[in-house]
Every structure is written in structure tokens, then in C-alpha cells.
Amino acid sequence: MASSSRVGARADHNFRAAGLDGFAGWIEGLLRARGYDIDSPRGGGRSKLADDAGVHRAAVSRLLQRQSMPDLETMRRIAAVLGVPLREMLIRSGRLTEADLPVSDGVRPAGGENRPWLSAEEAALRMGVPPELRELFAKVAQQFLPEGG
């Protein structure tokens, strides 16, 4: 008899596999639409994507072969090459939800608060990000903000 932890782990694996399959299929569609030849063995589309994005060819192959989800930096680079917002990549990959990354339309928070938005640097400070990591935190956070945000 399978333990409940094994059953849960199997369900989690199946969920992740389905998410990876859907995400990889979406990426393949984007690649084809942008002229990357990923279907023929000698087409070179996988290598070209890796070169264009500045990522390892193995990372692209593992994604398209549905072996593993790319890390955040690889996703960021692929999103830039494909002209897709990083937010959409993260949501479609299943790493985050739309609720995790709400779209800011310039509207202030609910409740009639009239406080100014925090800068990424101020947010890092208030969240207790170590001083040596604040600049990196701010650069990453800026990627999720709308233009001029």
C-alpha cells in the first residue's frame, strides 16, 4: 500500500510534468512563429535560440524535450529574445500566478491610502535585504515593473 506522502509526491510530479509539457509547447509555438527551425534535426533552431539568449544549449534542449523547467535567469533571457514579458513566462511556466504578479495600472492601493509607491531600493531596505544584495534585488524587481515604474 502506497503511503500518502508517495501518493502526494506522484500527484505533484504529474502536475509539474503537465505544466512543463504545456509550457514547452507554448515556447515551441513562439519559436516557430519567430522563424526558429526547431523541427528538423539540422535546422539549428535550438542552438540559435541558445546563442541569441546567451544560455546553455543544454538548457534549451532540456526544456524542449520536457525534461526540466529553465531557471529564472534562463527564462528572463529567453523571454527577451522572444519578445515576451517575463511576467507572462513566469505565469505560463506555473512558477507564479497572476495573483503573485498583479499588473499595476498606476492605481493606488485600495483603502484610500495616499502613500507614495516604494522604490525597489526602499522596498529592499524595508524588507531587510542585506546591503550587499540590495542593488541586485532592485535590478530584479525593476524587471517586473511597468515602463517608468
Domain spans of the chain, in order of start:
4-93, 116-149
Helices (H), the chain: 4-33, 45-53, 57-64, 72-82, 86-93, 120-126, 131-142
Amino acid (1-letter code) at residue 74: T
Q: Quick one: cell of 42?
A: 539540422
The secondary element (H helix, E strand) that includes residue 117 is none
pLDDT one-digit tens code per residue, 52-106:
999 999 999 999 999 999 999 999 999 999 999 998 999 999 988 888 877 765 5
Q: Could you give the CA distance from residue 56 to residue 120 in angstroms, rounded to a whole number? A: 30
**CATH number for the domain running over 4-93:** 1.10.260.40
This prediction has a pTM of: 0.60
Q: Quick one: cell of 53?
A: 539568449
The answer to whether 87 and 144 are in contact (CB under 8 A) is yes
Residue 133 pLDDT class (50, 70, 90 cuts): confident
